[in-house]
Structure 1
């Protein structure tokens, strides 16, 4: 498949990161795609989200051009063909050596791409680039038989019928993976460097999202017994999670509401080790206001980026021969809090969730708990 369109990273006049879609032959901007990406920025989406969307829009435009499809007026059959193509077309080889076996997108990845395509077409319809007939084929009515917790179907069930995506593979929910405290401790040892040990421990201790961690500034770290000299009335070591749109690495806290998260003494000690490592690296790294910075690659002292963090977690996953992703640590923190009896409202506040419905994904029942339940009932029967 040719690369008719490309997602391109650009730097605006104010130094901010912007993503655009360009024609691979002429490098001319695709105006509609670029406007769609600009709308994501206006809604406060992170640069990482914008990058992912730019790649998926460029992929859609390339697919349409290669097949002579009008991107603004695709037919149902053409969109269904795109959906199927996403999982049957081998992915490009990474690096110079071809893979031993071809790689393919998963149905979940295809669903994510189709979601972006649908959003792009709906955005185009608002601006008159896409016809209402095209938008009409993007969804279909669906009857809800199993309602999610807290969902109100209406007095006569009128809200049981909803509009669902027409181009979406049915997936088996794999659940969320969490890590035991022993696995987390092993990963911290495996990381080696003080910065990386602190990042892993921070995510496991606080349940922060990776974007929230990478967006931390040194002024957010209130790690003394009292922070009153800093103008903060919260006692004990803690950190402040704040949403900022001007982080040099594009990191963005998902929640618009700031929150305070307590931290442990052990985490404070790991932070002190990391500060020593920064000082040894030189004044450029030591003086940066961002908490996580480059210490082992150029440019030294630059804010650590999403790709840097992904490389770290991918390396550790390969070394440990097990999955290891930043969100697994967030999930592990939430699961550990809930299993230890922490009130759900407290956990919701620690994680920065607005809706209590977001908490449903975190509570797992493991084999130990099911065995304890069976044995408890048996004991009551034998000793009523």
Structure 2
């Protein structure tokens, strides 16, 4: 197995205003903007209203495709005809950056978003007439519309199955023991507070790092904050907004209010006391910021989602656990809610889902509880009336 060799590329953030930004790709010895990729990413962000973080992810995928094709002297059309070769290269290239999968080839679930970015890019090029007509035929085939109508839809010729490959076919969740171990392994008030919020409030990592201090209302029941009518005690406002310097985003379409249980309230107070010692932190609007760095960085900057992902992985390793990532705490909330018989509409509100069925991927009942239910039913059926 080798690594995917590439020319030098960089993914950079382009701020259009305080609230709007997108990510693009620079490449080559002079780090020039790759015009067609840049146009596609601008179209996604401002033409189709994709999240800023999505353009960052797509920029990384398309930057690697550009490096691969440029190294081989391939035009966009020629690269499309050799997409199977590119996918084979991806499958046999080990991950060199830290995190889950380090030193191993990617799983199919990793290849799914890569192919989605590539296929979307070529559809954009074809729509503008920037590639030959035979490119779409090389990448896509037509199949009957799944809605049963008379129309047809494009289906990629190269596809992978990104569903879980483990026997249970269930997304992995952290256990309560793992949550407690990670919490104990954290040696700063900030890290303990972030772990607690992700677990107790079911926050996605993007919601956590894009949380602002003004979004945290730790007030007693019956007390309101100016501009907020919520009267049920400490809570967080998860607002959809742009402008995060590291491209983090809240996926919710609307503002979601999440209760903050007392452990979160106490740990956040500890973090506020710790935060006072960080230079420049007082001027930052973000709820969680960086610590001073070993190279003299004063700290106080916004955290990136990747930094939190690495932090959770490091804490899990320190505690002697398997690799953990932040979203596994959200799955833990779903499993715990199922064990406690939390109503589906209540969990829908906690998770901020528009569709009540969206929670199903998180909500898994413990096998031991299924055994208890089966025994209870049998006792009812065979017991004395």
TM-score bin (small chain)? 0.7 to 0.9
For 2:187, the equivalent position in structure 1 comes to 192
Paired residues of 2:334 and 2:364 also in contact (CA < 8 A): no
Say whether 1:290 aligns with 2:293. Answer: no
Q: 1:230 aligns to what SS in structure 2?
A: coil
Paired residues of 2:216 and 2:237 also in contact (CA < 8 A): yes
Say whether 1:80 aligns with 2:79. Answer: no
Q: Deviations over 1:65-104 (max 9, x none)?
A: 333432135455x12222222102345587xxxxxx9632
Of 26, 31, 38, the match for 1:34: 38
For 1:71, the equivalent position in structure 2 comes to 76
Distance 1:371 1:143, change over 3 A: farther
Aligned partners of 1:339, 1:169: CA distance in 2, in Å?
34
Q: CA RMSD in A?
A: 2.9
Say whether 1:335 aligns with 2:335. Answer: yes
Say whether 1:89 aligns with 2:80. Answer: no
For 2:371, the equivalent position in structure 1 comes to 371
For 2:56, the equivalent position in structure 1 comes to 51
Displacement of 1:32 in angstroms is 0.1
Aligned partners of 1:55, 1:229: CA distance in 2, in Å?
41
Question: Which runs of 5 or more structure 1 residues have no equivalent in the other structure?
Answer: 95-100, 145-152
Paired residues of 2:338 and 2:365 also in contact (CA < 8 A): no
Q: Deviations over 1:319-348 (max 9, x none)?
A: 132121111111212232233222212212
Aligned partners of 1:20, 1:328: CA distance in 2, in Å?
30
Displacement of 1:44 in angstroms is 4.3
Q: 1:239 aligns to what SS in structure 2?
A: strand
Question: Bigger CA drift: 343-352 or 30-39?
Answer: 343-352
For 2:315, the equivalent position in structure 1 comes to 316
Distance 1:244 1:170, change over 3 A: closer
Aligned partners of 1:188, 1:56: CA distance in 2, in Å?
34
Displacement of 1:268 in angstroms is 0.7
Give TM-score scaled by structure 1 length.
Answer: 0.85
For 1:350, the equivalent position in structure 2 comes to 350
Distance 1:11 1:123, change over 3 A: closer
Of 62, 69, 83, the match for 2:67: 62
For 1:150, the equivalent position in structure 2 comes to none
Distance 1:263 1:109, change over 3 A: same
Question: Bigger CA drift: 160-169 or 329-338?
Answer: 160-169
Paired residues of 1:73 and 1:130 also in contact (CA < 8 A): no
Aligned partners of 2:110, 2:176: CA distance in 1, in Å?
30
For 1:8, the equivalent position in structure 2 comes to 11
Aligned partners of 1:290, 1:126: CA distance in 2, in Å?
40
Paired residues of 1:107 and 1:171 also in contact (CA < 8 A): yes
Of 19, 22, 29, the match for 1:25: 29
Displacement of 1:47 in angstroms is 4.3
Say whether 1:228 aligns with 2:219. Answer: no
Of 249, 255, 260, the match for 1:263: 260
Distance 1:302 1:73, change over 3 A: same
Question: Which runs of 5 or more structure 2 residues have no equivalent in the other structure?
Answer: none
Give TM-score scaled by structure 2 length.
Answer: 0.85
Paired residues of 1:72 and 1:129 also in contact (CA < 8 A): no
Aligned partners of 1:10, 1:343: CA distance in 2, in Å?
42
For 1:98, the equivalent position in structure 2 comes to none
Paired residues of 2:12 and 2:26 also in contact (CA < 8 A): no
Distance 1:160 1:127, change over 3 A: closer
Q: Deviations over 1:221-276 (max 9, x none)?
A: 11111442423221111111111112333221112211111111121111111111
Aligned partners of 1:143, 1:324: CA distance in 2, in Å?
41
Aligned residues: 366
Paired residues of 1:5 and 1:58 also in contact (CA < 8 A): no
Aligned partners of 2:277, 2:288: CA distance in 1, in Å?
15
